[in-house]
Structure 1
Amino acid sequence: MKFEEYKTLGFTNWCVENRTTIYIFTFIITLAGFMVYNNLPKEQFPDIKIPQIYINTVYFGTAPADIENTINKPIEKQLKSLSGVKKIKSNALQDVSVILVEFTPDVAVEVALQRVRDAVDKAKTDLPTNLDSGPTAQDVNFSEFPIMNVNIAGNYSLKQLKQYAEDLQDGIEALPEITRVDILGALNREIQINVNLDRMKSTGLSFFDVQTALASENINVSGGELNVEGVRRTLRVKGEYTNVADMANIRIRTSTGATVRLGDVADVRDDFEEQQDFARLANKSVITLNVIKRSGENLVDAADKIENVIAEYKENRFPTGLDVKITADQSIQTRADLHDLINTVVLGFIFVVMVLMFFMGVRDAIFVGLSVPLSALVAFVMMPIIGPMVGTEFTLNTIVLFAFLLGIGLVVDDAIVVIENTHRLFNMHKDWTIQQAVKAAAGEVFLPVLSGTLTTIAPFFPLLFWSGIVGEFMKFMPLTLIITLGASLFVAYVMNPVFAVSFMGRHDDEKEAHDTSFKGIRRPLIILAVAAVIGYFIDRGIGNFVVFILVLWIFNHYILTPRILVPFQDRLLPALKNNYRKLIDWLLRGWRPVVAIVSMLVLLVATFIITGIASPKVLFFPSGDPDYVYVYTKMPIGTDAQVTDSVTRIIEKRVFDVLEKEKAMDMVNSVIANVGKNAGDPYNPDRAATPHKSKVTVAFVYGTERGGRSSELILRKIRDAVKGIPGAEISVEREAVGPPTGKPISIEISGDDFAILQKLEKDVLQKVQNSGIEGIDQLRSDLVTNKPEIVIDIDREKAQREGISSQQVALAVRTALFGLEVSKFRDDKDEYPIMVRLNKNDRESIEKILSLNVVYRDMVMGGALRQVPITSVANIHYSTTFSQINRQDQSRIVTLGSDVLPGYNANEIVGQIEALIADMEVPNGYVIKMGGEQEEQNESMSFLGTAFGAAILLIYLILATQFNSVIKPFIIFFTIILSLIGVLLGFVIFHKDFSIIMSGVGIIALAGIVVKNGILLIEFIEELRGRGYPMREAIIEGGAIRLTPVLLTASAAVLGLVPLALGITVDFVGLFRDLAPHLIVGGPSSIFWNILAWTIIFGLTFSTILTLIMVPCMYYVNERVREKWFRKKDEPAEVVNPNWQKESI
């Protein structure tokens, strides 16, 4: 064909004619891309924002049952009428109410928060009027989690250590990246007025008298302004306490008119609250600062700034004997993961360029390979623009980096097809200029390249609508890939044609110009040598890099190109194409195409049978060796924090014994114990003080620094070591991998009557325990009914006769036992509560508490104050109650939860439990179902199935539009079936675990990737038939001509993922700077993603090989059937160009 007969593209033509403009534009894009990359916040996982709202209410001295009735039910009543509500969960704890409202994904977080606040405002009329705090509503932000612990210790008083901690807290909270800093293990200062009940009674005083006197004597009030000699001065009445002696010396007037000194009836002291939480680092008591990062801020930068603040305080503000140590620093793992993934991306890029060299030569391979970084840089430039448009903010995290890694082999596809076609046309038409070859090549393959890119993007588009925690966690992968693949199309048709015009030469000319004499390499050799010398003056790493390039250039000039690449391109590749022609020619004879198709269908059925028999292990999310091990301890409800602490010390000792016995101390970064506070799941912390709970955290060094030893083994040893402590429920768990989803085994029992719920709970627990199901760690219920309590029963008739209410009795007991804040004591820096209560001895005596007088004003007696002892209107009895009452969607719920022991499959265990539950008789109104991780898994499986169907529909619409055919898209769809065969057989043969999330996403991604090969084949077959080729010859020749780009694109995609699949990491900075590559195989950063990588590798490899065989066969059969059975009578037969053999292709 002549040049004029080829279709060309206007914008590509313009780029070719205005190459200088494109080079300037490329430079600007490169510069802007690097700037955006450097400014992107860096963190391990992306910010997760979902429409979930927490409502917190504090009501000290209130039991869970009362919290449920007085707070949770009234608020739930208002919440249930809100539009868009998906689920309502509530927890009634001692003193605290926590309600979680989850909305459907279509509701914005800000809208959900406002709706909840409005509902809470409506419910306030039904709530107690004397709440201590709340109800307050706030959105759930999974990004605001502790990024490090700063531990302070030294030979100083508790007051001094607390002061140092508060000073450092102020310094860290001043950083814009930090939202708050929580202090753990410190004592809170308070002014205590501990009243002696007997002395108070003997003087005729009451709590009311003490409270009134303390509050009225501690004032600082402005009286307005006074004009004094023309100057307006503020008039202020100041009567604040300056020390505890001032309080002890105040005089309180009794009902008889006498006055009593406060210090005579109460112990007045400047002290601390009773310690309810403890923190230790390596068995030494510390005060811990729990640092919470602000959502969207740079984790790495925040950690660096915190270290700078600590260094400044240690140098200028803290004494030399104060020990400040950072533990649980999330930035260490984040840096390591990002570093490893970036190096893996570079290694994948090198692999892709290597395979390109074999098919295209070194020069073409390099500027085709440039499409990878250029596409990434264009994507970086677009991220700040597209992010706000889709309601999100991009950060540089492992999800985004994996998307780039997955895209390495995909973004070169468009460039490969365009450049390979340019190379073919340029070498075929000797009279053409390179500009003509580029224009014709770009136009000839534009439609297949466009449709191929669109079909690759199509499967990722439905993934953007993935709802829930998992969806928010994963959505950055499809979003990044869509942007990057779109950028690759732009690069392929704007930048790569310009590179081709500037650098591409004819194959024969390149061979002739390849001068292997020293004279031919002298100039480049001198230039590189000078560059190396200059590089060494700047930095040793730069010099080593230039020397490395010099060595590679010499190796390529004398060995790679003349002895490997040229023979491959001149002999092996043509031989491969000829053998492929013979194979397709043989297959398209007689019934062989039909036999081939039937054989594939038989293989498909056999694959499902084999997979069912072999049954690969199915996971929700993959996991490797843990970086953190948590030992959770729960003592009986009501256990004092001091007792819990003593048990925790025993556990700490056993943990250290295991570490020393296994010689694993060098594997561990820190061992931290927390009692009372911060004793729960880091991603789901307790909302109230829990003196009966503790947590020991074992933080391991980064995986590559463990010397090949397994932290999973240490976890098992610790689990065995901490067994057998009487009265303690102990569980040993790893840190959560991926988004928080709940326990892998979670049985939810819901209804209204606690008696029936308790019976069902015991029945389920007994049934599971007697079933012999293996792999369950410790199945425990969250329903605890043994919280001891003393109930004061008020005789309403007696109380009314005495003229007092139940509320007055309750307030008197609450003040005596918990205490009442009557005022604030202020010093130079802060203010502290003044608390009035009974002294310790009286507080611990129920008889003393019952002998309290309730003071009230008797209006019948002219407003005189009267005192009535509680014993005259109430009786007591001892009982037990619930420590926590959980509700879901306005029904009470009991949950049985457990982890899975190592080596067992959670999905298999859940299936066995579901079979047990199905046989149980459940009363009407009560439901038993699986929740937790299983619920998220079922939702994710359902979504992935829907997304796969949507992806198939989108791909079909694109293909049907391109080929203007209803049937031909189904020929290409067969490649998806082939990829599924490859995935299943690969997992069975290589004994890989199947992940619901990662394998599911991989299969969906494959649907778009593998059809590209079929598009290239059919599109060019159609092109040849349009030029007059007979159908059979068009199929053979079209397949042979498109063999190179098909193999290239598939090989590039597969090899780009090999480093991630095998966990290969090379430290390129260390390689060039210190000549230490730190080569790692099976690195920790690959654990999370290698299943997805293997899914694509298995599917794409198998599909590519068989696509080259099956697509020609199916196309041939389809056309023969259409011609024989469906061709209209007036439709002409196939028109064949008599000179087709002379037609230039």
Structure 2
Amino acid sequence: MKFEEYKTLGFTNWCVENRTTIYIFTFIITLAGFMVYNNLPKEQFPDIKIPQIYINTIYFGTAPADIENTINKPIEKQLKSLNGVKKIKSNALQDVSVILVEFTPDVAVEVALQRVRDAIDKAKTDLPQNLDSGPTAQDVNFSEFPIMNVNIAGNFSLKQLKQYAEDLQDGIEALPEITRVDILGALNREIQINVNLDRMKSTGLTFYDIQTAIQSENINVSGGELNVEGVRRTLRVKGEYTNVADMANIRIRTSTGATIRLGDVAEVSDNFEEQQDFARLANKSVITLNVIKRSGENLVEAADKIETVIADFKENRFPPGLDVKITADQSIQTRADLHDLINTVVLGFIFVVMVLMFFMGVRDAIFVGLSVPLSALVAFVMMPIIGPLVGTEFTLNTIVLFAFLLGIGLVVDDAIVVIENTHRLFNNHKDWTIQQAVKAAAGEVFIPVLSGTLTTIAPFFPLLFWTGIVGEFMKFMPLTLIITLGASLFVAYVMNPVFAVSFMGRHEDEKEAHDTSFKAIRRPLIILIVAAALGYLIDRGVGNFFVFILILWIFNHYILTPRILVPFQDKLLPSLKNGYRKLIDWLLRGWRPVVAIVLVFGLLIFTFVLTGIVQPKVLFFPSGDPDYVYVYNKLPIGTDARVTDSVTKIIEKRVFDVLEKEKAMDMVNSVIANVGKNAGDPYNPDRSATPHKSKVTVAFVYGTERGGRSSETILRKIRDAVKGIPGAEISVEREAVGPPTGKPISIEISGDDFAILQKLEKDVLQKVQQSGIEGIDQLRSDLVTNKPEIVIDINREKAQREGISSQQIALAVRTALFGLEVSKFRDDKDEYPIMVRLEKDDREQIEKLLSLNIVYRDMIMGGALRQVPITSVADIHYSTTFSQINRQDQSRIVTLGSDVLPGYNANEIVSQIEALIQDMDVPNGYIIKMGGEQEEQNESMAFLGTAFGAAILLIYLILATQFNSVVKPFIIFFTILLSLIGVLLGFIIFNKDFSIIMSGVGIIALAGIVVKNGILLIEFIEELRGRGYPMREAIIEGGAIRLTPVLLTASAAVLGLVPLALGITVDFVGLFRNLEPHLIVGGPSSVFWNILAWTIIFGLTFSTLLTLIMVPCMYYVNERIRDKWFRKGKQEVINPNWQNETI
């Protein structure tokens, strides 16, 4: 064909004609991309924002049953009427109410928060009026996880250590990246008014009298302004105490008119709250500061600034001997993961360029390979623009980096097709200029390239609508890929044509110009030597880099190109094409195409049957060796914190014994113990103090620094070592992998009557235990009914006869035992509560507590004061009650949960449990179902199935539009089935675990990737038939011509993922700076992603090989059927000179 007969693209033509403008534009994009990259916040995983709202209420001294009735039920009643509510969960604990409201994904977080606040306002009329705090509503923010622990210890008083901790807390909280810093293991200062019961009774005083006296004296009041000699001065009455001891002299007037000194009936002391939490680091008591980062802020920068603040405090403000140590620093893991993934991206890029060199030569391979960094830089520029449009903010995290890694082999596809077509046309049309070849090549393949890019993007588009925690966690991958693949199309048609015009030569010209004499390399050699010398003046690594480039250049000039690449392109590649022509020519004879199709369908059926027989292990999220091991300890409800602490010390000793016996101390970064606070799951922390709980955290060094030893082995050893402690429920777990989804085994029993719930709970436990299902760690219920309780039963008749209300008795007991904050004591730095209660000996004796007098005026007796002891109107009895009452969607719920032992599959265990549940006789109104991780897994599976269907539909619409045919898209769709064969056989043959999330996303991604090869084949076959080629010859020649881009695009995609699949990483900075590459195979950063990588590698490799055979066969059979049944009498139009056509 002549150049004038080719279709060209106006914008590509303009770019070719205005190359200087494009080079300037490319420089600007590069500069802007690097700026955005440097400014993006760095973190390990993205911040998750979902429409879930927490409601917290504090009501001290209130039992869980009363919390349920007085707080949870009234609020739930208002919440259930809100639009968009998906689920309501509530927890009634001692003193605390926690309600979680989950909305449907279409409700914005801000809207959900406002709706909940409005519901709370409506419910307030039904709530107790003397709540200590709340109800307060806040959105669930998964960035609330501490980014590090700062531990302070030394030979100082508790008051001094607390002061140092508070000073450092203020310093860290002043950083803009930090939300707050929580202090654990410290004693909180309070001013205590401990009243002697006997003295208070003898004087006739009441708590109210003491409260009124303190509030009347400890007060500052502004009196306004006074004009004094023309100057307006503020008048202020200053009555607040500055010395705690002076408060003992407060005079309290009795009902008889006498005055009593406060110090005569109570001890006034500057003291601390009773310690309810402890923290230790390596068996030494510490005060721990948990540092919480603001959502969207740079984790790495925040950690660096915190270290600077700590260094400044240690140098200028802290005394010698005060130890400050950072543990559980998330920035270390984040730096390592990002570093490894970035190096893996670079290694994948190198692999892609290497395969391009074999097919295209070094020069063309380099500027095609440039489409990878250029597409990434264009994507970085677009991220701050697109992010707000889709309601999110981009950060540089492992999800985004993996998307770039997945895209390495995909973003070059468009450039490969355009440049390979340019190279072919330029070499076939000797009379054409390079400008003409570029313009014709870009126009000829624009439609298939555009369709291929759209079909590659299409499967990722439905993933943007993935709901729930998992969806929020994963959505940055499809979003990043869509932006990057869109950028690759832009680069392929704007920048790559300009590079081709500037640098591409004809194949024979390049061979003739390849002079191996020293004279030919003298100038580049001198330039590289000078660059290396200047580089060494800047940095050793820069100099080594240019020396490395020099060595590679010499190697390419004398060995790679003349001895490897040229023979491959001149001999092996043409032989491969000729062999392919002969194979297709042989296949397209007689019934062979039909036989081939039948055989492949048989292979498909065989693969599905084999998968059902073998049944690969199915995971939700993949996991590797743990970075953290948590030892959770729970003692009976009511256990004192000091008793829990003593048990925790036993656990700590056993943990250290394991580490020493296994010689694993060098694998461990820290061992931290927490008692009372911070003793629960980091992703689902307790909302109140839990003195009966503790946690020991073993933090390991980064995976590559463990000397090849497994932390999973240490976890198992610790699990065995901590068994057998009487009265303690101990579980040993690893950190959550991926987003928090709950226990892998979670059985939910819901209803209203606790008696029936308890019976069902016992029945389920018994059935599971009797069934002998293996792999269950410890199946435990969250329903605890043994919380000790003393119930005061008020005789209402007697109380009313005396004129005493239940509220008076309750307030008196609450004040005597728990205490009442009557005022604040302020110093230069802070304010502290002044608490009135009975002294310790009185409040710890139930007999003395109940002898407390209720003082009131008897109006029948002329207003005379009367004192009535509580025992005269009330009795007591000892009982047990619920420690926590959980509800879901207005029904009580009991959950049985367990982890899965190593080596067992959660899905298999869940299937067996579900079979047991189905056989149970469950009363009406009660439900038993699987929840937790299984519930999230079922939702994800349902979504991925829907997303796959939507992807297929989108791809079909694109293909039907391109080919204007209903049938031809189904030929291309067959490549998707071929990829499934490859995926399933690959997982079976290589004994890989199948991950619902990672493998599911990989299969959906494959649907778009593999059809691109089919598009390239059929589009060019149709092109040749349009030029008058006979059908059979068009199929053979079209397949042979498109063999190179098909193999190139598939090889690039596969090789780009090989480093991630094998966990290969090279430290390129270390390589050039210190000549230490730190080559790692099976690195920890690949564990989370390698299943997805293998899914694409297996599917794409198998699909590409069979696509080159099956698409021609299916196209041929389809056309023969159409000729026989739908084109009767129509002759194929053949160009008599088709053999002389220059393709």
Q: Is TM-score (shorter-chain normalized) higher than 0.5?
A: yes
Q: CA deviation at 1:265?
A: 1.1
Q: CA deviation at 1:860?
A: 4.8
Provide runs of 4+ in structure 1 moved above 6 Å. Answer: none
Distance 2:733 2:863 in 1: 63
Q: Deviations over 1:384-415 (max 9, x none)?
A: 00000000000000000000000000000000
Q: CA deviation at 1:867?
A: 2.8
Partner of 2:1140: 1142
Equivalent runs, 1:376-415 vs 2, <5 Å: 376-415=376-415
Distance 1:752 1:712 in 2: 42
- Partner SS for 1:879: strand
Q: CA deviation at 1:865?
A: 4.5
The answer to whether the 8 A contact 1:1050-1:1101 is kept is yes
Q: CA deviation at 1:976?
A: 0.0
- Partner SS for 2:427: helix
Distance 1:720 1:769, change over 3 A: same
Q: Deviations over 1:157-215 (max 9, x none)?
A: 00000000000000000001000000000000001111110111112212121111111
Query: Which range moved further: 800-809 or 648-657?
Result: 800-809
Q: CA deviation at 1:862?
A: 5.9
Distance 1:744 1:435 in 2: 61
Q: CA deviation at 1:856?
A: 3.4
Distance 1:1061 1:531, change over 3 A: same
Query: Which range moved further: 349-358 or 242-251?
Result: 242-251
Distance 2:462 2:1097 in 1: 22
The answer to whether the 8 A contact 1:744-1:932 is kept is yes
- Partner SS for 1:792: strand
Q: CA deviation at 1:144?
A: 2.2
Distance 1:534 1:857 in 2: 96
Q: CA deviation at 1:224?
A: 1.2
Q: Deviations over 1:501-538 (max 9, x none)?
A: 00000000000000000011011001101111111111
Q: CA deviation at 1:863?
A: 5.5
Q: Number of paired residues?
A: 1139
- Partner SS for 1:868: strand
- Partner SS for 2:847: helix
Q: CA deviation at 1:855?
A: 2.8
Q: CA deviation at 1:255?
A: 2.0
Distance 1:1016 1:631 in 2: 56
Partner of 1:990: 990
Distance 2:799 2:962 in 1: 87
Q: Deviations over 1:909-949 (max 9, x none)?
A: 00000001010000000000000000000000000000000
CA RMSD of aligned residues (A): 0.7
Provide TM-score, normalisation by structure 1: 0.99
Distance 1:532 1:542 in 2: 7
Q: CA deviation at 1:680?
A: 0.5
Distance 1:280 1:873 in 2: 47
Q: CA deviation at 1:244?
A: 2.3
Partner of 1:1131: none
Provide TM-score, normalisation by structure 2: 0.99
Q: CA deviation at 1:372?
A: 0.1
Q: CA deviation at 1:258?
A: 2.0
The answer to whether the 8 A contact 1:658-1:717 is kept is yes
- Partner SS for 1:143: helix
Distance 1:863 1:368, change over 3 A: farther
Partner of 1:718: 718
Q: CA deviation at 1:252?
A: 1.5
Distance 2:737 2:156 in 1: 40
Distance 1:975 1:678 in 2: 52
Equivalent runs, 1:972-991 vs 2, <5 Å: 972-991=972-991
Q: CA deviation at 1:241?
A: 1.4
Q: CA deviation at 1:859?
A: 4.8
Q: CA deviation at 1:59?
A: 0.1
Q: CA deviation at 1:801?
A: 1.5
Distance 1:943 1:1013 in 2: 27
Q: CA deviation at 1:858?
A: 4.3
Q: CA deviation at 1:225?
A: 1.3
Distance 2:651 2:842 in 1: 35
Distance 1:859 1:234, change over 3 A: farther
Q: CA deviation at 1:547?
A: 0.3
Partner of 1:590: 590
Query: Which range moved further: 715-724 or 798-807?
Result: 798-807
Query: Which range moved further: 1055-1064 or 797-806?
Result: 797-806
Distance 1:325 1:947 in 2: 48
Distance 1:993 1:377 in 2: 35
Q: Deviations over 1:683-712 (max 9, x none)?
A: 111000000000000000000000000000
Distance 2:107 2:26 in 1: 40
Distance 1:677 1:867 in 2: 41
Q: Deviations over 1:281-332 (max 9, x none)?
A: 0000000000000001000000000000000111110012110000000000
Distance 2:1013 2:73 in 1: 60
Distance 2:304 2:802 in 1: 66
Distance 1:1141 1:240 in 2: 106
Q: CA deviation at 1:1024?
A: 0.2
Q: CA deviation at 1:864?
A: 5.3
Distance 1:558 1:862 in 2: 118
- Structure 1 unpaired stretches of 5+: 1128-1133
Distance 1:471 1:137, change over 3 A: same
Distance 2:779 2:458 in 1: 43
Query: Which range moved further: 830-839 or 248-257?
Result: 248-257
- Partner SS for 1:146: coil
Q: CA deviation at 1:959?
A: 0.1
Distance 1:838 1:384, change over 3 A: same
Distance 1:1022 1:385 in 2: 40
Distance 1:220 1:649 in 2: 48
Q: CA deviation at 1:796?
A: 1.4
Query: Which range moved further: 197-206 or 24-33?
Result: 197-206
The answer to whether the 8 A contact 1:120-1:135 is kept is yes
Distance 1:691 1:497, change over 3 A: same
Query: Which range moved further: 11-20 or 859-868?
Result: 859-868
Q: CA deviation at 1:256?
A: 2.2
Q: CA deviation at 1:987?
A: 0.1
Q: Deviations over 1:796-850 (max 9, x none)?
A: 1222121121111110000000000001111111111110001111111111111
Distance 1:409 1:572 in 2: 23
Partner of 1:360: 360
- Percent identity over the alignment is 93
Partner of 2:295: 295
Q: CA deviation at 1:476?
A: 0.2
Q: CA deviation at 1:857?
A: 4.4
Distance 2:537 2:40 in 1: 31
Distance 1:253 1:519 in 2: 111
Partner of 2:1038: 1038
Distance 2:171 2:865 in 1: 51
Query: Which range moved further: 258-267 or 290-299?
Result: 258-267
Q: Does 1:684 align with 2:684?
A: yes
Distance 1:421 1:862 in 2: 110
Q: Deviations over 1:392-441 (max 9, x none)?
A: 00000000000000000000000000000000000000000000000000
Distance 1:909 1:515 in 2: 68
Distance 2:352 2:863 in 1: 93
Distance 1:765 1:555 in 2: 70
Distance 2:232 2:944 in 1: 74
The answer to whether the 8 A contact 1:46-1:397 is kept is yes
- Structure 2 unpaired stretches of 5+: none
The answer to whether the 8 A contact 1:208-1:855 is kept is no
The answer to whether the 8 A contact 1:411-1:485 is kept is yes
Q: CA deviation at 1:868?
A: 2.2
Q: CA deviation at 1:771?
A: 0.6
Q: Deviations over 1:624-677 (max 9, x none)?
A: 000000000000000000000000000000000000000000000000000000
Q: CA deviation at 1:861?
A: 5.3
Query: Which range moved further: 858-867 or 272-281?
Result: 858-867
Distance 1:502 1:862, change over 3 A: farther
The answer to whether the 8 A contact 1:152-1:286 is kept is yes
The answer to whether the 8 A contact 1:191-1:834 is kept is yes
Distance 1:840 1:443 in 2: 90
Q: CA deviation at 1:1136?
A: 0.6
Equivalent runs, 1:495-506 vs 2, <5 Å: 495-506=495-506
The answer to whether the 8 A contact 1:415-1:496 is kept is yes
Q: Deviations over 1:551-585 (max 9, x none)?
A: 00000000000000000000000000000000000
Distance 1:185 1:1018 in 2: 70
